[in-house]
Amino acid sequence: MAPVSARGPRLLLRRLREIMAEPGSAQTRLNKLVSVIASIMVAEVCSIYLRRAGNLLELFATEGLNPSAVHNTRLKQGEGLVGWVAETADAVNLSDAPSDPHFSYRPETGEDPYKSFLGVPIVRGGQVFGVLTVQNKTARQYAEEEVEALQTVAMVLAEVVAQGNLFDIAELDEPELRPDRPLAFHAEGLCEGVAVGRVVLHEPRVRVERMIADNPVIELKRLDDAIGGLRLSVDRMLDSSELDLTGEGREVIETYRLFTYDQGWLARMRDAINTGLTAEAAVERVQDDMRLRVNRLGDPLLRERAHDLDDLARRLLRHLTGDGEHEEELPPDAVLVARAMGPADLVDYRRGRILGLVLEEAASTSHVAIVARSMGVPLVGSAEGITDAARAGDPIAVDGEIGEVHLRPPSEIILAFEARRAMRAHRVARFARIRDLPAVTKDGVHIRLMMNAGLLFDMPQLHESGADGVGLFRTELQFMIGETMPRLADQTAFYKQVLDSAGEKPVVFRTLDLGGDKVLPYARWEREENPSLGWRAIRIALDRPALLRYQVRALLAAAAGGTLRLLLPLVSEVAEFNAARALIDREVERARLLSHPQPRQVLVGAMLEVPALAFMLPQIMRSADFVSIGSNDLFQFVFAVDRTNPRVARRYDPLNPAALTLIRQIVHSAAEASGELSLCGEMAGHPLDAMALIGLGLRTLSMQPSHIGPIKMMIRSMNAAEVSEFVVKLCGRTDHSLRTRLSAFAAERGIVLK
Ligand code: PEP
Ligand code: MG
């Protein structure tokens, strides 16, 4: 018997299309399909097995095996050769199947006389839907082209099955395979709030409508044209003076460019076209294969690369289909779903235009999470797999506090989420009632509650939340959202607006904290191996003094006549602080010489984010007017965990005895030096953590505005002396976390944590 001819797959695909277009039941069409495949591939047997509930592979149609076995023969995943194909998601090609250890004899099928076996998985979106097999009596190894041909048919079959074109996929009775099945994700709540809306994919999946081609020559030309267009657009990106890509961004795009010339990738797509697929189906086919391989290997580095290739394939598909070039109108109830997103991307969507955000990759202190909080967008992170599962327009319900996401939820879940939203609103109203009451403990200790901000639209919350001022204004956010570096006049106007909206309340401006995961879209940046330990914050300010001086110049002008509070980020040593302060003093002097209006007072603080500075508290307190603990960065360095890496970011708890002991020592040293101390990391906004911090002696906390209410409520129900005694004792323990003990204590004393 001759292997399938070069026109075999094309002929097969044409017949497949004809069969799909024919009227009749799904079973009739499947029966026809197996008989056509068997005849074109000169095989005595062709069978289709599809997955059913309980991970069983059921024989759905066969040519050559006993017809009574159809819908009766069922194999478990991994059972028999068919189960083996499904488990490995790879082709199995054997000349002597019965002697293979995976062979499982099923008398009802009557397959005794067949020696050779070729099985390929029916795969779509990295999921195995079933297995397609051919068998022959004579012992022989199937040729490479035959394997390819069967794989191509299987791919089209998968698409047909998934789209319900062949029969209602619900008939499969395999809930897991239904593309419209409801799905729940128990992930990580990163910004509280409830959203019920519809999915908008941040990078939408391009839908391939046409799978089977009439003329491969035309398809090859279409692929070449699209590759040309793709290369051109990548080159344009690299050359664009507007984007002025640098550092990691540039490197990513340069790697993209290399990929577009990858001969292996191009050859695989061309081969796929030669089997009878359209150019877009060929792109998908190659991408699906790669995803499967990567999933099997489970190598995180390869997975990263696969993300890149996925992006590239998506772009290529857009070139082929002309889709998604223009920006889509957002529906009024948009919930964004994305694998990952930068802070600037999120800000691009503007406040009020999206109800919620679900990401596969994001940790609590990553900057996209901080921006989401500042925009008041409920956010769930670590929702693994959601971008593959979600389709644009799907109903979705998100709870950003407990980290729950329901995709295509049943109506009861929607109702429950609506109720949750109402309950939260009620809670907010409860906090509003205590807005003007002081944050004072039962034993009379006053706590200053400040809020964190970064964009102008945060400012109205200063009054709405009842905060005592802005304890941390992250100025870099304003720089990150623009296309170009803001000019001096724009910076001045911006800071003035912030100060005006704060009125009498103080605002602490942190000078540019760039680097790490905060990069300017328009600046040239070198790629670094460890960006969070790299050229960041004050280090940049000292190496590029013009940047800091310009910003200070704008701030001095904006605060003319009042008090200007500056905070220097990531100070590692006193000398560094002094050097930056000298630059600030030069600007003050310059303004004086030029007789520019000036603030009455300029206070300069240091952020304690690097452990080394904790050993220099008395000295830094002599140089700085105040110190603010940036616990997000501080604990990243204390525990050596990358705060942006969800895999480790939560590995250690800030309520760990070492962390609390460190805070306790910092508070002591600051008090001895009579210095002003505050804490402005995320932990300040969590009631239990804040309770412990107050117990350790902190009296000023700065947090998200939405946390002011709950924290004030907690403060008004606690006794500082009692908490202090308890927490100090706990510092001597060796627990992984003191959270449970502290919660039990709070419950016992009636301290309100919600
Ligand atoms: C911190 O590190 O705790 C902090 C407040 O700064 P950021 O989160 O902006 O790095
Ligand atoms: Mg920081």
As a whole number, mean pLDDT of residues 568-586 equals 98
Given ligand 1 and candidates 473, 475, 513, 704, which is best to mutate, with the most ligand atoms within 8 Å of its CB?
A: 513
* pLDDT surpassing 50 at residue 241: no
Which residue from 190, 143, 220, 173 is spatially nearest to 55, judged by alpha carbons?
173
| 19 or 343, which is more confident | 19
pLDDT at 578 over 70: yes
The residues assigned a catalytic role are 367, 680
For ligand 1, is residue 636 a contact (CB within 6 Å)? no
pLDDT band at 243 (very low <50, low <70, confident <90, very high): very low
Higher pLDDT, 276 or 371: 276
The alpha carbon of 370 and the centre of ligand 1 are apart by a number of angstroms equal to 9
Residue 323 pLDDT level (bands cut at 50, 70, 90): low
Identify the pLDDT of residue 497: 95
Residue 306, pLDDT above cutoff 80: no
Ordered by start, the domain boundaries in the chain are 4-177, 183-205+328-425, 216-320, 434-749
| Nearest ligand to the C-alpha atom of residue 628 | 1
| pLDDT for the residue numbered 449 | 98
Residues whose CB is less than 8 angstroms from the CB of residue 473 and which lie 6 or more positions away in sequence, other chains included: 452, 453, 454, 498, 507, 508, 509, 510
Q: Closest ligand 1 atom, CA of 628?
A: 5
Domain 434-749 has CATH 3.40.50.2300: no
Look at 278-287, 709-718, 732-741 and tell me which has the smallest mean pLDDT: 278-287
Q: Which CATH number describes the domain made up of 216-320?
A: 1.10.274.10
Residue 328 pLDDT level (bands cut at 50, 70, 90)? low
What is the tens place of the pLDDT at every residue in 512-548?
998 876 777 666 667 788 888 999 999 999 999 999 9
| Whether domain 4-177 has CATH 3.30.450.40 | yes
* pLDDT tens readout for residues 626-652: 999 999 999 999 999 998 887 888 899
Distances in Å between the Cα of 698 and the Cα atoms of 361, 382, 676, 694 are 33, 32, 10, 5
Q: Span 588-598, mean pLDDT?
A: 96
CATH 3.90.180.10: does it fit domain 183-205+328-425? Answer: no
Question: Which protein residues have their CB within 5 A of the ion that is ligand 2?
Answer: 609, 630, 633
Q: Is the pLDDT of residue 237 over 70?
A: no
Separation of CA 630 and ligand 2 centre (Å): 5
Give the rounded distance of the alpha carbon of 493 from its chain centre.
34
Q: Of 568, 592, 587, nearest to 578 (Cα)?
A: 568
For residue 452, the ligand 1 atom closest to its alpha carbon is 5
Does the CB atom of residue 633 touch ligand 1 within 6 A? yes
At 325 the pLDDT is 44
In this predicted structure, the answer to whether residue 719 has a pLDDT above a threshold of 60 is yes
Cβ of 476 closer than 6 Å to ligand 1, yes or no, is no
67-87 pLDDT, tens digit each: 999 888 888 878 899 999 988
- Enter the tokens of residue 493: 């106007």
Most confident of 164-173, 177-186, 338-347, 434-443: 434-443
Residue 273 to residue 275: CA distance in whole angstroms: 5
Q: 317 pLDDT exceeds 90?
A: no
Q: Does ligand 1 have an atom closer than 6 angstroms to the CB of 474? A: yes
- The CA 244 to ligand 2 mean position distance, Å, reads 26
Residue 370: nearest ligand to its CA? 1
Would you say 599 and 620 are in contact if contact means Cβ atoms under 8 Å apart? no
pLDDT tens-place string over residues 663-689: 999 999 999 999 999 999 999 999 999
User: What integer best gives the mean pLDDT of the chain?
Assistant: 86
Least confident range from 1-5, 53-57, 76-80, 619-623: namely 1-5
Instruction: Report the percent of the chain where pLDDT is more than 70.
Output: 86
Mutate to test the pocket of ligand 1, among 472, 473, 632, 679 (most ligand atoms within 8 A of CB): 632
| Secondary structure (3-state) at 58 | strand
Residue bearing the CA closest to ligand 1, atom 6: 630
